[in-house]
Amino acid sequence: MADTTLMDKLVSLCKRRGFVFQSSEIYGGLGSVWDYGPLGVELKKNVKDRWWRAMVHARDDIEGIDAAILMHPRVWEASGHVAGFTDPLVDCRHCKNRFRADDPRIKGTPGQPDAQCPVCGSKGTLTEPRLFNLMFKTFMGPVEEQAAVVYLRPETAQGIYVNYLNVLQSSRQRIPFGIAQIGKAFRNEITPGNFIFRTREFEQMEMQFFVKPGTDAEWFERWREWRMQWHRDLGLTPERLQWHQHGPDELAHYARAAFDIQYQFPFGWQEIEGIHNRGNFDLGRHQEYSGKKLEYFDQAANERYLPLIVETSAGADRVTLTLLVDAYREEEVEGETRVVLGFHPAVAPIKAGVFPLVKKDGMPELATALYHDLKRRFPAFYDDSGAIGRRYRRMDEAGTPFGITVDGETTAQRTVTVRERDSMQQERVSVDQVAEYVAERVGVS
């Protein structure tokens, strides 16, 4: 399948089945902003829940927080975002489109007569690059003046740094320890695109790990390994995951090392998570700008120091897209094409479909009772319309791992047919045990 076709098919499936819709679609949509539908919200929630479980609940050395999106404007001066969170931008004076100056589609040098606009094809109409800050600005309170400017956060990390002492003191953690957060971030990207890969509003899953100077390289390696394993455990094709090390030209000036976890999307290898050894830049800057001491006192060693930070920063939407791309497949079955989202059962939005074979002989009643029973434990879906094969196909497209059919034997023998999505194998399971059967296989206990 051609790569562009795959993305087109995925976008259309996502709309048809209720994974992702264009924002404000009835008004023509809003550029690169997307809404999650009933299946998409479950899929993305499963990603976030798995991250939270791995990063917060399963560990003793990480605490969670949920900081506000709006922060004191000085935060963004300290972080360097006001001065440096910029992309060079060029305008076409003819068609009024905007591009990043490094847009590979631009021929020639922007600002020069030879430069050609990639949209309207005009020559010499592209402006010189000028720096454009990617932060969304708004005003706090009723007066729209410079003094009232606040920003929508472009990353969640700063909410962690400014709360580091609060968390340390209230949780009685000791270094090394981490703070994790999941939340919205906003970037006025110049060239967003590729569906939910690069959007202007997105969710990050970030963790900042505070360590003693001298131990950062070791923690950095540990975190690299743990984070890559987390992505593998989502069931992603291992060959489609790789490391990309930031070279000297990509590395932030303060960073000691940075690696991206990349996934092979239809549009190329792209970052889904960054693991960064940030040194003492963040706490150092906040200490300087706030005038508050942010040092840690190590009682056992009787020493005081500014902790260094190892960061893991992943996008919940990008990981969700990764799962969709990795799961999509088309197969020929008995002369027909079946579309399957072969999600790992633990992330599948719906865990089981329940189908009465026919709408009579007590089957709908039995199936409804079973459906309600299952719904108490995990998301299930009831479908009594159309041929059973069609119902299975609908569940395949939604990525539902199990289909349960209540048929003629159910009343007599108290068994149902359980059909597994990938192998399409069917097995008879007792009605009383089918909830447990599915729960075990989808990782719900």
Binding site for ligand ATP (CB under 6 A): 155, 187, 189, 198-199, 202, 204, 271-274, 313-315, 317-318
Which residues are paired to 100 by β-bridges?
Answer: 89
Q: Pick the closer one to ligand ATP by CB: 189 or 420.
A: 189
Q: Pick the closer one to ligand ATP by CB: 155 or 216.
A: 155
Radius of gyration of the chain (CA): 26
Nearest in space to 349 (alpha carbons), one of 21, 27, 36, 26: 36
Q: DSSP characters for 295-350?
A: -EEETTTTEEEPPEEEEEEEEHHHHHHHHHHHHEEEEEETTEEEEEE---TTT-S-
* Min dist. Cβ of residue 260 to ligand ATP (A): 7
* Min dist. Cβ of residue 399 to ligand ATP (A): 22
CB 183 within 8 A of CB 317: no
- The 3-state DSSP class for residue 176 equals coil
Q: Pick the closer one to ligand ATP by CB: 310 or 395.
A: 310
Q: How many CB atoms lie within 10 A of CB 139?
A: 13
Q: What own/partner pairs with CB < 8 Å and gap ≥ 24 does 83-88 have?
A: 85/133, 85/134, 85/135, 85/154, 86/131, 86/132, 86/133, 86/134, 87/131, 87/132, 87/134, 87/190, 88/129, 88/130, 88/131, 88/132
- Measured CA distances, 257 to 84, 185, 210, 247, 309 (Å): 19, 24, 15, 9, 11
| Sign (positive or negative) of CA dihedral 72, 77, 80, 83 | positive
* Min dist. Cβ of residue 192 to ligand ATP (A): 6
Which letter does DSSP use for residue 182 in this model?
A: E
Q: Pick the closer one to ligand ATP by CB: 49 or 420.
A: 49
**How many angstroms separate the CA atoms of 367 and 372, rounded?**
9
Q: Which amino acid is at 369?
A: A
* Min dist. Cβ of residue 202 to ligand ATP (A): 4
Q: Pick the closer one to ligand ATP by CB: 207 or 357.
A: 207
Q: Pick the closer one to ligand ATP by CB: 264 or 411.
A: 264
Q: Pick the closer one to ligand ATP by CB: 23 or 122.
A: 23
Q: Pick the closer one to ligand ATP by CB: 158 or 313.
A: 313
* Min dist. Cβ of residue 313 to ligand ATP (A): 4
Torsion of CA 70, 76, 82, 85, to 10 degrees: -90
* Min dist. Cβ of residue 274 to ligand ATP (A): 4
* Min dist. Cβ of residue 257 to ligand ATP (A): 14
- The 3-state DSSP class for residue 70 equals strand
* Min dist. Cβ of residue 243 to ligand ATP (A): 13
* Min dist. Cβ of residue 208 to ligand ATP (A): 13
Q: Pick the closer one to ligand ATP by CB: 314 or 380.
A: 314
Q: How many CB atoms lie within 10 A of CB 230?
A: 18
